Structure 1
Amino acid sequence: MSRSLLALAALFIAGESLLSAPAVADSLSLAPMLQRVVPSVVSISVQGRELDDADATLADPFYRKFFGLPDDAAPAEHSFQSAGSGVVIDEVHGYIVTNQHVIASASKIEVALSDGRRFQAKLVGADPETDVAVVQIPPDHLVQAEFGSASSLHVGDVVVAIGNPFGLGQTATMGIVSALGRRAVGSEGYEGFIQTDASTNPGNSGGALVSEDGVVVGINSAIIGPAGGSIGIGFAVPAETVGIVMRQLILTGKLVRGEVGILTQDLTPGLAKAFGIDVGAGALVSEVLPGSPAANAGIQPGDVIRMVDGRTVRGASDVRRLVGSLPLQSKPSFQIDRASRRIEAFPVVSDAPVAEPAAPRTIHIGRGPLADAEMANSPDGPGARVVVVAEGSVAAQAGLQPDDVIVALDQQPVTDVGQLLSILVKEHARALITVVRNGHRLFVAADVLTQ
Structure 2
Amino acid sequence: MTTASKTLLALTLAAAFGGFAATAIREGLEAPARAEPSAPAAAIAPTVAALPAVVSGQPLPSLAPMLAKVTPAVVSVHTKQRVRVSPFGNDPIFRRMFPELSQERINESLGSGVIVDAQRGYVLTNHHVIEGADEVSVTLADGRTLTAEFVGSDPDTDVALMRIKAPNLTALPMADSGALRVGDFVVAVGNPFGIGQTVTSGIVSAVGRSGLRGLGFQNFIQTDASINPGNSGGALVNLNGELVGINTASFNPRGSMAGNIGLGFAIPTSLARNIMGQLIANNGVVIRGTLGLESQDVDARIAQALGLPEARGAVVTQVFSGSAAAAAGVKVGDVILSANGERIDGRDALRNFEGLQAVGGRIALDVRRDGKPLQLTATLRAQPKAFAGLELDPRLNGATFAELPERLRQAGLSGVLVESVERGSRAEANRLRKDDVVIASNAGNFEDLPGFRASFTQAPAQLVLRIVRGGRPADLLMQ
TM-score (norm 2): 0.61
Match of 1:183 among 211, 217, 223: 211
Give the letter aligned to residue 320 of structure 1.
Answer: R
Partner of residue 336, structure 1: 367
Q: Deviations over 1:301-350 (max 9, x none)?
A: 33333443455545433432332333324443333343232412224422
Give the letter aligned to residue 66 of structure 2.
Answer: M
Deviation at 1:83, TM superposition (A): 1.2
Match of 2:243 among 216, 223, 230: 216
Give the letter aligned to residue 256 of structure 1.
Answer: I
**1:238 aligned to 2:268?**
yes
> Is the alpha carbon distance of 1:212 and 1:54 closer, same or farther for their aligned partners in structure 2, counting shifts above 3 Å?
farther
The residue matched to 1:115 in structure 2 has which SS?
coil
Q: Deviations over 1:92-138 (max 9, x none)?
A: 21010101111122222111222222211111112222211111101
> Is the alpha carbon distance of 1:245 and 1:51 closer, same or farther for their aligned partners in structure 2, counting shifts above 3 Å?
farther
Q: Deviations over 1:364-388 (max 9, x none)?
A: xxxxxxxxxxxxxxxxxxxxxxxxx
Match of 2:347 among 307, 316, 332: 316
Partner of residue 164, structure 1: 191
Deviation at 1:157, TM superposition (A): 2.7
Q: Deviations over 1:150-209 (max 9, x none)?
A: 333333332211101122222110122233323233223x12322222111111010011
The residue matched to 2:116 in structure 1 has which SS?
strand
> Is the alpha carbon distance of 1:310 and 1:21 closer, same or farther for their aligned partners in structure 2, counting shifts above 3 Å?
farther
Partner of residue 302, structure 1: 333
Q: How does 1:376-391 map to 2 (within 5 A)?
A: none
Q: Is the 2:362–2:378 contact (alpha carbons within 8 Å) kept by the matching residues of 1?
A: yes
Give the letter aligned to residue 223 of structure 1.
Answer: S
> Is the alpha carbon distance of 1:248 and 1:199 closer, same or farther for their aligned partners in structure 2, counting shifts above 3 Å?
same
Deviation at 1:275, TM superposition (A): 3.1
Measure, in 1, the Cα distance between the counterparts of 2:350 and 2:70: 33
Measure, in 2, the Cα distance between the counterparts of 1:162 and 1:281: 39
The residue matched to 1:198 in structure 2 has which SS?
coil
Give the letter aligned to residue 274 of structure 2.
Answer: I
> Is the alpha carbon distance of 1:255 and 1:55 closer, same or farther for their aligned partners in structure 2, counting shifts above 3 Å?
farther
Partner of residue 32, structure 1: 65
When the two chains are superposed, the root-mean-square deviation of aligned CA atoms in Å is 3.4
The range that moved more, 44-53 or 246-255, is 44-53
Q: Is the 2:302–2:311 contact (alpha carbons within 8 Å) kept by the matching residues of 1?
A: no
Q: Deviations over 1:192-250 (max 9, x none)?
A: 32222211111101001122333322211122334512222222222222122221222
> Is the alpha carbon distance of 1:245 and 1:68 closer, same or farther for their aligned partners in structure 2, counting shifts above 3 Å?
closer
Measure, in 2, the Cα distance between the counterparts of 1:280 and 1:198: 36
> Is the alpha carbon distance of 1:127 and 1:102 closer, same or farther for their aligned partners in structure 2, counting shifts above 3 Å?
same
The residue matched to 1:323 in structure 2 has which SS?
helix
Match of 2:287 among 243, 256, 263: 256
Partner of residue 381, structure 1: none
Measure, in 2, the Cα distance between the counterparts of 1:177 and 1:55: 49
Measure, in 2, the Cα distance between the counterparts of 1:243 and 1:107: 26
Partner of residue 349, structure 1: 381
Q: Is the 1:89–1:97 contact (alpha carbons within 8 Å) kept by the matching residues of 2?
A: yes
Q: Is the 1:259–1:352 contact (alpha carbons within 8 Å) kept by the matching residues of 2?
A: no
Tell me the number of residue pairs that the alignment of Structure 1 and Structure 2 aligns. 336
Q: Is the 1:299–1:345 contact (alpha carbons within 8 Å) kept by the matching residues of 2?
A: no
Measure, in 1, the Cα distance between the counterparts of 2:237 and 2:312: 27
The residue matched to 2:97 in structure 1 has which SS?
coil
Give the letter aligned to residue 116 of structure 1.
Answer: G
Larger Rg: 2
Q: Is the 1:260–1:350 contact (alpha carbons within 8 Å) kept by the matching residues of 2?
A: no
The residue matched to 1:130 in structure 2 has which SS?
coil
Give the letter aligned to residue 247 of structure 2.
Answer: N
Q: Is the 2:297–2:312 contact (alpha carbons within 8 Å) kept by the matching residues of 1?
A: no
> Is the alpha carbon distance of 1:26 and 1:220 closer, same or farther for their aligned partners in structure 2, counting shifts above 3 Å?
farther
> Is the alpha carbon distance of 1:202 and 1:353 closer, same or farther for their aligned partners in structure 2, counting shifts above 3 Å?
closer
Measure, in 1, the Cα distance between the counterparts of 2:373 and 2:275: 35
Match of 1:84 among 104, 111, 114: 111
Measure, in 2, the Cα distance between the counterparts of 1:26 and 1:315: 51
Measure, in 2, the Cα distance between the counterparts of 1:257 and 1:158: 33
**1:439 aligned to 2:451?**
no
The residue matched to 2:289 in structure 1 has which SS?
coil
**1:118 aligned to 2:150?**
no
**1:293 aligned to 2:324?**
yes
TM-score (norm 1): 0.65
Gaps of 5+ in 2: 1-49, 388-441, 448-479
Q: Is the 2:323–2:381 contact (alpha carbons within 8 Å) kept by the matching residues of 1?
A: no
Q: Is the 1:126–1:254 contact (alpha carbons within 8 Å) kept by the matching residues of 2?
A: yes
> Is the alpha carbon distance of 1:47 and 1:440 closer, same or farther for their aligned partners in structure 2, counting shifts above 3 Å?
closer
Q: Is the 1:160–1:210 contact (alpha carbons within 8 Å) kept by the matching residues of 2?
A: yes
The residue matched to 1:87 in structure 2 has which SS?
strand
Measure, in 2, the Cα distance between the counterparts of 1:106 and 1:176: 33
Measure, in 1, the Cα distance between the counterparts of 2:210 and 2:365: 22
The residue matched to 2:148 in structure 1 has which SS?
strand
> Is the alpha carbon distance of 1:145 and 1:267 closer, same or farther for their aligned partners in structure 2, counting shifts above 3 Å?
farther
The residue matched to 1:332 in structure 2 has which SS?
strand
